[in-house]
Amino acid sequence: MLGLRTACSSRSRAAVGLLAHRTPLACSSLRQYSTLPKEPFKILFCGSDEFSVAILKELLLAEDTWQTISVLTPPERQVGRGGKQLYVPPLKAFAHDAALTTHTVPTTGLKGEDYTWPRPFLTPHGAHLLVTASFGHIIPSRLLDPFTHTLNVHPSVLPRYRGAAPVQWAIANRDPTTGVSVQTVGKREVGVDSGHILGAVEDVPIPDHATYGTLLPELSELGGKLLVQVLRRMIADEVVPRPQDSAAATRAPKITSDMSRVDWTLPAASIEARNRAWGEHTRLWSQVDTPTRGSITFQLGDLGLASTDTLPGWMAKFPDPEPATAFLDKRNKRILVATGDGFVQVKSVIPAAKTRMEVTNWFLALDKDAAAKGWTKFV
């Protein structure tokens, strides 16, 4: 059972905190929460991925909190080389299988003035509730008006990691803990993820070897349970939103290809953490200049830390290699790359437009000079 933290009780920071600090700002700026409905909600649930699927599953189990649930997802799209694969958002597939009323965001997005919510959300109603979870779209201010209540489930302890990739940046920055928040969805001009907090799960440990794929399921389950508790307390008129401390806010921008280019001057642990954080979806990459084939771009596979006591003896001839110096360790079938404070090991690479390769054959084929020396420089 998740614990509640309110103005009159104190539990572990790892428990859910449904924050009921009745500050003047909260009471004056969010008056709609002083006249909360006593009936379950009619919900428009907006999401896209496995995180939102897990949230919706928990919500469906809590039948006391809702009258109806409709789902809005991004459209299907063609992906892969040549656009030959059809990508169906996981939430869209789940909603279809669960026989829920499902709507699709138009390919032009939500910004067009001609877009309106599906029925019955065209007109305001006291029980209408908008819930977003990893939706991928910023909702224009005009579309918030029909809803008395607008909530978002965000996988971080806000105001830390506002933005599209909070889980990835928590891992990349080697944070010891993370969490989940339920916040109100404010007008776009106020700022993304800057809503008032209705509940939070804090101090969720991040294991040393956590990846995005291993950490997200735990946060998803916690987020779903937190949302249900928030809704129950809203129905009971027992929750008062708490404003975020914007001065303490940090950003978690969407991961781009440029962010995945390895900066070899970073500490080895930072490079390895970035690989765990987003390497599953946006692989780390680098380049190597060769005299005969020019600049070669490649992605890094099977990247990990290499402790100094595992280095081959012949590397003693290179006591202080510059960052980005890459050594071929043929016996252990790996490339050892010097970083800002140590080494990482790479056991496979993915050259541009090719499949994964074992590093020995790839390295020896780069150029004769590198093959003869046993080392080269990445850039």
The answer on pLDDT for 114 being more than 80 is: no
CB 52 within 8 Å of CB 224: no
The answer on pLDDT for 287 being more than 80 is: yes
Q: What is the mean pLDDT of residues 14-20?
A: 39
231-263 confidence digits (pLDDT tens): 999 999 999 899 999 999 999 999 999 999 999
Cα 260 to Cα 361: distance, rounded to the nearest angstrom:
24
Cα 52 to Cα 131: distance, rounded to the nearest angstrom:
10
What's the mean pLDDT when you consider all of the chain? 89
| 69 bridge partner residues | 43
The answer on pLDDT for 273 being more than 70 is: yes
Q: What is the mean pLDDT of residues 39-56?
A: 97
Domain ranges of the chain: 16-248, 258-377
pLDDT score, position 145: 86
For tokens 């190597």, what's the residue?
288
Confidence tier at 126 by pLDDT (50, 70, 90): confident
CATH topology of domain 16-248: Rossmann fold (3.40.50)
Amino acid (one-letter) located at 83: G
Other residues' Cβ atoms within 10 Å of the Cβ of residue 98: 14
Cα 211 to Cα 215: distance, rounded to the nearest angstrom:
6
| 68 bridge partner residues | 42
Cα 293 to Cα 76: distance, rounded to the nearest angstrom:
39
Tokens of 152: 């978002």
Confidence tier at 78 by pLDDT (50, 70, 90): confident
191-203 confidence digits (pLDDT tens): 899 999 999 999 9
Q: Of 329 and 38, which is predicted with more confidence? A: 329
| Residue 286 φ then ψ, to 5° | -155, -175
**Per this entry, what is the length of the chain?**
379
Selection from 227, 229, 242 nearest residue 180 by Cα: 227
Cα 160 to Cα 125: distance, rounded to the nearest angstrom:
33
Q: What is the mean pLDDT of residues 298-325?
A: 95
The domain at 258-377 falls in which architecture? Roll (3.10)
The answer on pLDDT for 31 being more than 50 is: no
Cα 364 to Cα 328: distance, rounded to the nearest angstrom:
9
The answer on pLDDT for 27 being more than 80 is: no
| Residue 320 φ then ψ, to 5° | -145, 70
Cβ neighbours of residue 251 under 8 Å, at least 6 residues apart?
A: 161, 162, 163
CB 359 within 8 Å of CB 327: no
Burial class (CB in 10 A: 0-12, 13-18, 19+), 333: middle
The answer on pLDDT for 16 being more than 90 is: no
**C-alpha gyration radius of the chain:** 25
142-193 confidence digits (pLDDT tens): 899 889 899 999 999 999 999 999 999 999 999 999 999 999 998 877 889 9
Between helix 212-235 and helix 50-61 the angle, nearest 10°, is: 30
Q: Which of 16-20, 300-304, 354-358 has the lowest mean pLDDT?
A: 16-20
The answer on pLDDT for 37 being more than 80 is: no
Cβ neighbours of residue 35 under 8 Å, at least 6 residues apart?
A: none
Q: Which of 4-8, 181-185, 285-289 has the lowest mean pLDDT?
A: 4-8
